[in-house]
Structure 1
């Protein structure tokens, strides 16, 4: 079961500027390429900061000379690697309260940029594709259950599971794996079980 990574969603070869790029040139690039931020890179194409529309609006004038990217950028740049999972990238964005992440290769050089709008693509995945992955990859291939063992319904990314499994401990595993499928918004658990093998006091125990 392969999940999409940062490399799958990022915009490759992001527009970038240098520390000395003037204010007006940055504004022109944002407008020309219809983007909301641009990475600032050094001579080796390694990100050292990010300039966003908000940064431009907060610093229209500067005493003692023209404004450059170095004057207004947010630094250091919070970056991601192409092989990161989408979940990891989303958590880093949330932890640092940023809307985009410059993506760097193993040498630290800029290879793309990932924005929140790129992540939204995951939730536009068709319900039919989500259901097929759950039935074929999660239930059949990973858990080795018969395709007809459980009922899987998907409506606007919300997965509803119903049917009966042999062991109660299998239920939280199924739910967790379904949650990990790209495009899943929520999982409604209506599963029942034949044998209760859940340890007493387990935090995953459910009231029936």
Structure 2
């Protein structure tokens, strides 16, 4: 599965000069956990997450302790540029999602900007990947059948079943046709594996 089949687009961005509260409202209003940060020319300069934006926004509540809370030594951050992550890890539309997962695990990040050259074309998040895996088996089965009909209309006839994201293609043995059908089934977002079963003669 490729990033372009899973990513969220169009992308929601914030400017590095935006006030922190504006960025908070942007993320909350669009129900996203992170956003690319751009400069005045629209160039990617970083990523800001919910956790970044929470820094310094709350002071201790005096009701939570018998001791008086200490006053903050410094004022809270005022601009996105003060809290964002400057070294943005990016992927492209043709990056395999297995690479995305490795980056998320290895770098402990939840979302990555998707770029096409210098242009930001989307975001891919853990939530996007979970949404694909949560697709009902009946919906996936219909999508696999549609992909086979559309892209291989003169191929053999397969019976398609899907169980927990695993597509089972049942038909007469045909090595070349099986290979094509396997590739087509794997392009369906949410299909995690493909099995070939032999139809009884």
Shorter-chain TM-score above 0.5: yes
**CA deviation vs aligned residue, 1:81-104 (integer Å, no higher than 9, x gap):** 4xx13x525523531443222234
Closer/same/farther in 2, CA of residues 160 and 103 from structure 1, 3 Å limit: closer
Aligned counterpart in structure 2 of residue 162 of structure 1, from 170, 174, 187: 170
| Contact in 1 for aligned 2:166/2:191 (Cα 8 Å) | yes
Q: Relative contact order, CA 8 A, sep 6+: which one is greater? A: 2
Instruction: Give distance in 2, aligned partners of 1:59 and 1:134.
Output: 50
Unaligned runs of 5+ in 2: 59-71
Describe the SS at the equivalent of 2:172. strand
Describe the SS at the equivalent of 1:45. coil
The corresponding residue for 2:66 is none
Question: Normalized against structure 1, the TM-score is what?
Answer: 0.64
Unaligned runs of 5+ in 1: 193-208
1:31 aligns to 2:41 (yes or no): no
The corresponding residue for 1:48 is 45
**CA deviation vs aligned residue, 1:19-53 (integer Å, no higher than 9, x gap):** x4333333233333332222221221112111111
The corresponding residue for 1:132 is 145
**CA deviation vs aligned residue, 1:60-92 (integer Å, no higher than 9, x gap):** 4885444132232122122344xx13x525523
Number of corresponding residues: 181
Calculate the aligned-residue CA RMSD, in Å.
3.7
Describe the SS at the equivalent of 1:160. strand
The corresponding residue for 2:190 is 183
